Amino acid sequence: MQRFGIIIAWAVAVLGLVAVPVSAADKVAGKLQINAWEFDRGNARVSENPGVYGDYRDQHPELMLIAGDTLPWVAEYDFELPVDATYTLRVRYASAGVYPAEILLDNKSVGKCCLKMTCNAPPYPDRHPYVWEGLPERTWDKHGAEWETVGEIPVTQGKHTLKLTRNGPPPNPIEILFESPVAFPKDWKAPKRKLDLSRIPVRYRNVFLPPDAVNTAALWLAIEDSVKTFGPQYAQGPRYLAELAGLEKQQLQAAGGTTDEQQTLETALKSLRRRAMLDQPALKFDKLLFVKQEYAAASTYTLQKIHYPPGSRASNLCLLSPVSAEGKVTPLVPELTGGGYGRFDLSFDATKVVFCYDKDGHYRIYEIDLDPKTGLRAGGNSFRQLTFGDAVEADTMQRYAGSHCAEGYHDLDPVYLPNGKIMFVSTRSQRSVLCNPTTVTTLHVMDADGKNIMCISQGQVNEMNPCVLDDGRVIYMRWEYIDKGFGNVQSLWAVRPDGSGSDHVFKNDIVCPGAMIHARSIPGSRKIVTTAAGHHGGLHGPIVLIDNRRQRRTADAMENLTPEIRYPGLFPMPGSIGAFREPYAFSEKFFLVSHQPGSVGKTQDERFGIYALDAWGNREELYRDPELSCLEPMPLRPRHTPTDIIPVTPPAANEDPKLATMFMNDVYQGLPGIERGRVKYIRVMEAMNLNWYDTWRAGKQQDGGGHQQISMVSNGGDVACKYVHGIATVYEDGSAFFTVPANKNLYFQALDENYMELHRMRTFLNLLPGEKRSCVGCHEFRRKAPNLRDTARPLAMAHGPAALYPQPGDTGPRAVHYPLDVQPVLDKRCVSCHSGAAPKGNLVLTGEPEGTYFSRSYMELTKFDELTKKRYVSYLQTSGFGSSSVPLEPPLTFGSHRSKLVEQIRKEPCKAGLTQEEFIKIVTWIDANAPFYGTHDGKKNIKWKDDPDFRPNPLVEK
């Protein structure tokens, strides 16, 4: 219940922000709004990638204008106003650069619009690095397009023309608004703007057509492409095209015809679409697996158990054969009829299926044998349960009774690996979500028989939907947030089957969509197909193709195949416009999906069927169950077994079993604005996990809640405790070579000579013991191969691998803990001036408790001053809900170099009193994103102040 309370509170805050336009709203008595894409004349084009600039706050259609081929760029709008008035003219736009456009009313200039870059458009590194001074602290927190007032313009009643033009690349206007202080007549309604489909890219016309209407242009392209691709294998293709041409002609003639005529025509078009799509050569196979199940709209951020609720009447893993609407459906697991089926996978030779199923409140993994010839169960002992509960699970259930950690284990989403083992996600790692009282599923691996279960990921928050890629790696959704917003970082990552080589695939810097789930390889292609989902609710959304060969940091790599559904951000997509999930790709152009064309999950009649979908957005139902949803379509046939990637060699007997090795080729690859020679060290940091025990105890002690922290850590900075493992030397040529602790959530900071952060990696990396990995640079583009020097080998190679060493003032690895690191320095050096009745600078730095969780000095240093729009220390506010602070930021955007406190202690009189060690303690704390606590131990709430366990210092790890 607490969760929903929070959501409602947030939603209220959010809606407050959404209310547009901001100023003078109370004076507006009438208004005319024009969508920018609904222009009447001009050479502008509608963007082929709508939705990417927006986040959950944007409630408007987001088709935008992009450059035409000729300049000047022009868009003209005819409109009519009902009253004479001095109108306030506003434009809403999103612009990646400063692209001011001239705005003309009836051919007379009335000024310029789109005068600046909106913070929402970050194709880094083209974005101009903005300066700290003079900007509100949370500038980067805004991702929505922005409103801009062009001016107050007297306009007469009647018809007018507005023109936007620019002799250069255009901004991306979204809406134009005339606000009148004079009331509009009561019965006045702005005439509906006529829609010119011809200027809208073919696939996007679905956005403007009625649901399920045939997009004739899209169908034409699809058939034409199949004729070209398949030739005689798609023999009826030319006939379909002729039929379509005839129907289109009739459609033109019938435009003014009767509804009946139009209906007949639409029926004929639908019949053609059905025949043309289901005749695809890709569909010429005879056995399809799917799950028949009640559908429930769950979340990507909660325990996945509730994704697949038990209780479906006849749910089962089923075979459809032949593959047609009339095909025979056979339940394959009569042993487990009804109840909760989760994801399944087919072995590469098509003889086994592994799946997860909830029998007694715990999802466990099961396996059946199939006869690939019939698709039916093989004889003999062909049903096996692979995972089971154990004494540890029983103990946790008893120990944590009453808390969210008391559910025991759930094993979900199993997939066969090329090495014969099975990967799955499980709560066996006993971790909790840092910002919400739910448990975490992380990647696990077990032998084919269910033995030797091993957790292979140290992930902080949920991981789900592993799937083996064509190259043998496993793609999966990884949620994480190192100094980032909490939602909207549910990205695609890949690991090797043993958990090594974890690597970002796509979305970590992109706000929208909130999550990418159900990702799969596309045969013969480097692209990936996935479902775009919201963070809160709904494991469904549009189907998205990702081509990340060129770009992983911007949405340019995404292609929405079903653009009538915009990318869901923090919240799920609207429930009424149909939804997609679980794409299976035959090629870049043809897919099977689960699809529900109407509203989702509101009534019993609303359920998913199996559909064919193509790259032009055409879709056609293949099979539908009269009672239950049909999910996860997958052909039952052998597949190519991908590369069996070699596992990491564990450390030898004479090597440290807890270490891995990192080599950095050139730290300056990807650090724009940082001159060579400035980086002296890499600080190896860890973002620590929250385990069931800590969550349970924090809950009992009421040691959390504020800033969405289940166990309180910071004043709106990161929710994870931070740990400094040490530093490594960066040589003059940018190379570094060092050992790091294995099996930790590591991230790195590039430091200057003063141990101050120049840049921070806001994601994490796991290494296995003995793993040896290398980096091209810091934040380099993922399209880059390591650069070769023409003068020498990397200098660090001659010296390493070196052990991490403590920075001055440290004796070894340690947690970042304000009361231990910073307060003693303040007490010694600062408090004499900054205390008492008249503290210097009106700043009190004494360490007595203040508020429920923190201390006086910590609150003074971390609080946001509404007057100066600053804090004493610059850190990234992560609790700004959901979409905040996701995109990559340039170096020196925040941290010690941007902190007034550091500025102050680097000059007199404060400087003199401070030792280097003390200075380093302070900047390390700031660059750790200013946490207060470095441990979940003890009791934090002020109500426990007399308890011996009140706010203890962290134990030093041995």
Partner 1 sequence: MIKSKVIFRVMISVLVAMPAFAADSHVSPIALVAAKDGKTVYVAGHTAGQVAILDVAKATTHLVPVPGCPTGLALANDGNSLFVSVAGPAGGVHVVDLKMGNISGSLPTGHTPMAPVLSPDGNTLYVCNRFDNDVSVIKLKGAESPVRIAVTREPVAAALTPDGKFLFVANLLPDGPASSAYVAASVSVIDTAAGQVSATLRLPNGSSSLRGICVSPDGKYIYVTHTLGRYQIPPTQVERGWMNTSALTIIDTATRKVLNTVLLDDTELGAANPWGVVCTADGKYLCVAHAGTHELSVIEQTAMLARLKEAADPTDVRNDLAFLVGIRRRLDLCGNGPRGLVMIGTTAYAAEYFSDSIGVLDINPDASPEPKAKSIPLGPEIKDSAVRKGERLFHDAKLCFQQWQSCTTCHPDSRVDGLNWDLLNDGMGNPKNTRNMLLCFQTPPSMSLGIRESASAAVRAGIQFIQFAVRPEEDALAIEAYLKSMQPVPSPHLVKGELSDSARRGKEVFTRAGCTDCHPAPLYTDLNEYNLELGEGQDKGKPFDTPTLVEIWRTAPYLHDGRAYDIKEVFSRYNPKDMHGRTKMLSPEELNDLIEFVLSL
- The binding site for partner 1 (CB under 8 A) comprises 227-232, 419, 471-472, 501, 503, 524, 526, 548-551, 643-646, 661, 663, 665, 737, 772-774, 776, 782-794, 797-801
What are 444's two structure tokens?
A: 């696990």
Closest CA to 946 of 849, 846, 817: 849
Q: How far is the CB of 228 from partner 1 (least distance, A)?
A: 4
Q: How far is the CB of 498 from partner 1 (least distance, A)?
A: 11
Q: How far is the CB of 349 from partner 1 (least distance, A)?
A: 15
Nearer to partner 1, 561 or 660 (CB): 660
Which sign does the torsion angle of CA 820, 822, 828, 833 carry? negative
Length of the chain, in residues? 958
As beta bridge partners, residue 772 has 661
State how far the Cα of 829 lies from the Cα of 857, in Å rounded to an integer.
13
Nearer to partner 1, 525 or 852 (CB): 525
Nearer to partner 1, 230 or 285 (CB): 230
Q: How far is the CB of 931 from partner 1 (least distance, A)?
A: 33
244 Cβ partners below 8 Å, 6+ apart?
216, 219, 220, 223, 269, 272, 276
Nearer to partner 1, 636 or 767 (CB): 767
Nearer to partner 1, 472 or 499 (CB): 472
Q: How far is the CB of 773 from partner 1 (least distance, A)?
A: 6
Nearer to partner 1, 27 or 550 (CB): 550
Q: How far is the CB of 227 from partner 1 (least distance, A)?
A: 7
What are 434's two structure tokens?
A: 């840092």
Contact predicate 254/264, CB 8 Å: no
Nearer to partner 1, 401 or 792 (CB): 792
Provide the phi-psi class of 899: left if phi over 0, else alpha when psi is between -120 and 50, else beta. Answer: beta
Nearer to partner 1, 464 or 662 (CB): 662
Determine the residue type at 265: L
Q: How far is the CB of 525 from partner 1 (least distance, A)?
A: 10
Q: How far is the CB of 601 from partner 1 (least distance, A)?
A: 36
Q: How far is the CB of 637 from partner 1 (least distance, A)?
A: 21
What are 206's two structure tokens?
A: 């679905």
Closest CA to 497 of 416, 616, 617: 416
Tokens 């996701």 found at = 886
Q: How far is the CB of 641 from partner 1 (least distance, A)?
A: 11
901 Cβ partners below 8 Å, 6+ apart?
861, 872, 873, 922, 926
Q: How far is the CB of 348 from partner 1 (least distance, A)?
A: 14
State how far the Cα of 249 lies from the Cα of 454, in Å rounded to an integer.
63
Nearer to partner 1, 507 or 773 (CB): 773
- End-to-end, the C-alpha distance of the chain in Å comes to 40
State how far the Cα of 860 lies from the Cα of 830, in Å rounded to an integer.
13
Nearer to partner 1, 392 or 798 (CB): 798
Nearer to partner 1, 207 or 558 (CB): 558
Residue 125: is the preceding peptide bond cis (ω within 30°)? yes
SS3 assignment, position 104: strand
Q: How far is the CB of 955 from partner 1 (least distance, A)?
A: 34
Give the residue ranges of DSSP H helices in 802-848. Answer: 818-821, 823-825
The CB-side HSE value for 417 (13 A sphere, CA atoms) comes to 25
Residue 414: is the preceding peptide bond cis (ω within 30°)? no
639 Cβ partners below 8 Å, 6+ apart?
346, 348, 350
Q: How far is the CB of 233 from partner 1 (least distance, A)?
A: 8
State how far the Cα of 803 lies from the Cα of 729, in Å rounded to an integer.
10
Q: How far is the CB of 663 from partner 1 (least distance, A)?
A: 6
- Distance of CA 826 to CAs 433, 560, 830, 841, Å? 34, 54, 5, 15
Angle between helix 237-253 and helix 259-278 axes, rounded to 10 deg = 160
Tokens 């957005």 found at = 617
Q: How far is the CB of 803 from partner 1 (least distance, A)?
A: 14
State how far the Cα of 670 lies from the Cα of 724, in Å rounded to an integer.
23
What are 430's two structure tokens?
A: 């006993």
Nearer to partner 1, 624 or 772 (CB): 772
Give the torsion through C-alpha atoms of 933, 938, 939, 945, to 10 deg. Answer: -100
Nearer to partner 1, 76 or 224 (CB): 224
Nearer to partner 1, 234 or 424 (CB): 234
Nearer to partner 1, 698 or 795 (CB): 795
Determine the residue type at 801: P
Determine the residue type at 553: R
Nearer to partner 1, 476 or 932 (CB): 476
Q: How far is the CB of 771 from partner 1 (least distance, A)?
A: 9
- Cα angle at 245 between 239 and 250, to 5 degrees? 130
Strands (DSSP E) contained in 207-298 are 288-293
Nearer to partner 1, 361 or 524 (CB): 524
Q: How far is the CB of 339 from partner 1 (least distance, A)?
A: 37
State how far the Cα of 873 lies from the Cα of 517, in Å rounded to an integer.
37
State how far the Cα of 745 lies from the Cα of 730, in Å rounded to an integer.
21
Nearer to partner 1, 228 or 863 (CB): 228
SS3 assignment, position 76: strand
Q: How far is the CB of 504 from partner 1 (least distance, A)?
A: 12
Burial readout 676-695 (b: 16 or more C-beta within 10 A, e: otherwise): eebbbbbbbbbbbbbbbebb
Closest CA to 662 of 506, 803, 772, 794: 772
